[in-house]
A and B are shown apart, each in its own frame.
Chain A
Amino acid sequence: MITLEGVGKSYDGGVALAPVSLSFAARSTSVLIGPSGCGKSTLLRLIVGLVHPDSGEVRIGNETLRPDNMERLRHGIGYVIQDGGLFPHLTAGRNVTLLASYLKRSPGWIAERCAHLAELMRIPASLLSRFPRELSGGQRQRVSLMRALMLDPPVLLLDEPLGALDPVTRYELQEELKRVFEELAKTVVLVTHDMSEAAFFGARIVLLRAGRIVQAGSFDEFLHRPAERYVTDFIRAQRAAIVPAP
């Protein structure tokens, strides 16, 4: 579904992402993980076209991402960031329906889709008339996910979507996201720095370090067949967090 071929990016300061080739199968869930500055967010932003690669190309489905088809391809990608990225001047509901009404979808369709997503994300209808600042962090992420899912895109990209939440809300929302991902069967790419979260979501985990892929595979493979010493170190550094919940 998503293919990166020799995609690299460097900024003035240095290499953000060394040329990398990677693909994400349709309807799979993948997790990009690594320490801060490892290039995991850059990789996600390259897929949605917020960052333009210095080399290589990004393909969504059969199409290469180019400036002239970018807007159309983005309609097939849902993108969620930390703390939601909701527009503060619009109500939660308007945030969700903004793009659909810009694209002139019928009001009936919009209302129906919005109600369906509210049910899916367990957001009471009354919350939709509130402004983002009047919502809790967890509610904002749910609304942000509704916005991302509005046009029923085949691809869902999430950049540390739970990073700003308190542990209890985070735990709750992890469960729910997993349920939603399974229910909707989207191609999901999620960025996190938390190995337990990666293990919880990901059939496939991609560990990055300094703009380079260290290892890609299941959590099991990471534990038992680490590609290099760093993989074990990274897991060990987070071991307290990966004790299974009772």
Chain B
Amino acid sequence: MRSLLALLLLVPALSWAQSTVNVGSKRFTESYILGEILVATVQATGEARATHQQGLGNTAIVFAALRGGVIDVYAEYTGTIAFELLKKTSPATLEELNRELAPLGLAAGVRLGFNNTYALAMRDDRAAELNIAAISDLKRLPELKFGLSQEFLNRRDGWPALARAYGLNAAPRGLDHGLAYEAAASGRVDVIDVYSTDAKLDKFRLRVLADDRGFFPKYDAVLLYRLDLPKRFPRTWEALSRLEGRITAKDMVALNAQAEIAGVPFAEVARGFLAGGTVREGARPRESRRFVALLIGEDFWRLTAQHLLLVFASLALSIAGGVPLGIWAGRSPPAAGWILGSVGILQTIPSLALLAFLITLTGTIGTAPAIAALFLYALLPIVRSTASGLADIALPLRESAQALGLPSGARLRLIELPLAARSILAGVKTSAVINVGTATIAAFVGAGGYGERIVAGLAVNDNTVLLAGAVPAALMALTMQLGFDILDRWLIPAGLRHEEGAPA
């Protein structure tokens, strides 16, 4: 009987799982675009619906999502799979990687056609003038000025090893990565280190020098997917397989530039690429028009609903947990010390660290760990306001309730909580308003909400996208404040209103 019930409960879940391919992406432009390309490809076959868990916090989070089955596929780099995910110490072939991925129920395949690794770059016209195409050509010209990022300069497998491998004798200067492109474009330095598909390569007309001795490890873009994906959706998989070799490094640079520099939405960049195979130049509309279009874009209601769910679900939990804790703290001064201390410490945990911890704990990404994190952050104001609201009740009133002969539970319910209502509600309001803001971090773990736009805006350094997320979040916080002010009139007992300044 019970197993039958379980089966009945499972049926809707299975049918959902069977008809949907969940695509993931990490929190940088290239990953977003590749994610959208995968989504569009899946949808084009019509075999399954596709969702995009976009902008997941980091490699560990997106990998956890893949292993947990929250997503089915995402674009990853062979080097990352080898060094970060499988913790190998030397590069490996795709076959070697797959031998280790198979026991995890995963596989890597479908080389998209480009390699995104460290590379050296020069201004295109200067390289042409000096006739430089590959790194080994640099040896001929020891007078060239190198401006390298601190990280690359200091990594053991960075500049020292590269100089040895190619016999280079330059004395490189340390240069902030953000400034390196401008410095190269203006001619203050000749050679900088870059990522080989960086959008700015296009903008600053830089040439990537060929790694002709194969020094840099390969970071070939491939699909990392669950082994059951090809079996569940053979036609979809066939379509995805046809992406093999379709995206060259030059294509990827152009696609990145379209999103990052021209501000074309990721989905549009992806559709444009799949439609033409070649990349067209995106024309960026006027900022104000673009902002309005982004603000009330097609994802607006989905993001709003997700944001509200995050805020109210976590708030409900915080009230359910925080008020009893506050009562405990308010009634027992020894307990108050450690209760307020621990919920206070929770506040100081950085949000990404807390999310990472909760993902490990719950074994999933998305709404659950996000709500758990928001719940923990919202506890302090509620616990503190409940405890202080109870502690601030005048002694004569407290004693009058006792002397009346009401038992402790009835005193709490009939006298003390109503008297503390104003304070408790103030705490709940604070938590609600803070939660609206904090809920934007949920986007790091794929729980959606307005944070999705903020995270995307940060990833591509696009303030308009960022504002399209930040503005509705701020408006929601204001609405929340207003709503609670109205709620005050309903929930604070009439006898307690407007009594500030009245004699106790």
Contact = CB atoms under 8 A, between A and B. Distances in A.
B288 interface: no
Interface residues of B, number: 23
Contacts of B407: 71
Interface string B413-435: 01100110100000000000000
A81 B398 CA distance: 12
Interface in A118-172: 131-133, 147
B495 A74 contact: no
Interface string B393-411: 0001101111111110010
A81 B406 contact: no
A74 B404 contact: yes
A13 B414 CA distance: 34
B494 interface: yes
Given A79-B403, A98-B404, A85 B494 contact: no
Nearest to A157: B403
A122 to B, nearest CB: 22
A154 to B, nearest CB: 14
Given A81-B396, A81-B400, A88 B499 contact: yes
B410 A87 contact: no
B49 to A, nearest CB: 54
A133 B421 CA distance: 17
Contacts of B421: 89
A215 interface: no
Contact of B418 (A49, A82, A89): A89
Contacts of A73: 405
Interface in A57-79: 70-75, 77, 79
Given A71-B405, A79-B403, A133-B502, A85 B397 contact: yes
A11 interface: no
A83 to B, nearest CB: 8
A50 interface: yes
A98 B400 contact: no
B85 interface: no
B498 to A, nearest CB: 9
Given A132-B495, A133-B502, A87 B415 contact: yes
A89 B421 CA distance: 10
A91 interface: yes
A68 B396 CA distance: 23
Contacts of A72: 405
A90 B404 contact: no
A98 B493 CA distance: 15
B496 A88 contact: yes
Contacts of A50: 399, 402-403
Contacts of A71: 405-407
A229 to B, nearest CB: 35
Question: DSSP majority for the B interface?
Answer: helix
A190 interface: no
A81 B402 CA distance: 13
A89 B405 contact: no
A136 to B, nearest CB: 12
Given A85-B396, A89-B418, A102-B414, A77 B499 contact: no
A89 B495 contact: yes
Interface string B475-504: 000000000000000000111100100100
B401 A87 contact: yes
Nearest to B421: A89
Contacts of B399: 45, 50, 81, 85
A99 B403 contact: no
Interface in B195-213: none
Interface string A35-63: 00000000001001110000000000000
A74 B499 contact: no
Given A85-B397, A85-B399, A89-B418, A79 B404 contact: yes
A79 B418 CA distance: 22
Interface centre among A81, A82, A87, A133 (most CB of B within 10 A): A87
Contacts of B414: 98, 102
A45 B403 CA distance: 9
Given A98-B414, A131-B494, A131-B495, A87 B405 contact: no
Nearest to B394: A85
Contact of B397 (A45, A75, A87): A87
Contact of A75 (B405, B496, B499): B405
Interface string A172-194: 00000000000000000000000
Given A132-B495, A133-B499, A133-B502, A77 B403 contact: yes
B404 A99 contact: yes
6 contacts: A45-B399, A74-B403, A88-B419, A89-B421, A91-B495, A133-B499
Given A79-B400, A85-B399, A91-B495, 8 more contacts: A81-B396, A87-B401, A87-B419, A87-B495, A88-B496, A89-B493, A89-B495, A90-B493
